[in-house]
Amino acid sequence: MEIISFTFGVLSVIAVVFASVIVLSIVKVLKLQQQIKELQNELGHTHTQIFDGDKNVHQRIDKDVDQIHHRIDQLNSYVDSRIDKCEAKKQLIKG
Calpha distance 11→27 (Å, rounded) = 24
Supply the pLDDT for residue 1: 76
What one-letter code names the amino acid at 77? S
pLDDT-based confidence at residue 34 (cuts at 50, 70, 90): very high
| Amino acid found at 72 | I
**pTM, full prediction:** 0.56
Of the listed ranges 3-7, 66-70, 87-91, the one predicted with least confidence: 87-91
Q: Which of 3, 25, 7, 4 is nearest to 15 (CA)?
A: 7
Residue 88, phi then psi, degrees to nearest 5 = -65, -40
Structure letter (DSSP) for residue 47 = H
pLDDT at 90 over 80: no
- Position 53 scores a pLDDT of 87
Q: From CA 75, how far away is CA 67, in angstroms rounded?
A: 12
Measured distance between the N- and C-terminal CA atoms of the chain, rounded to whole angstroms: 139
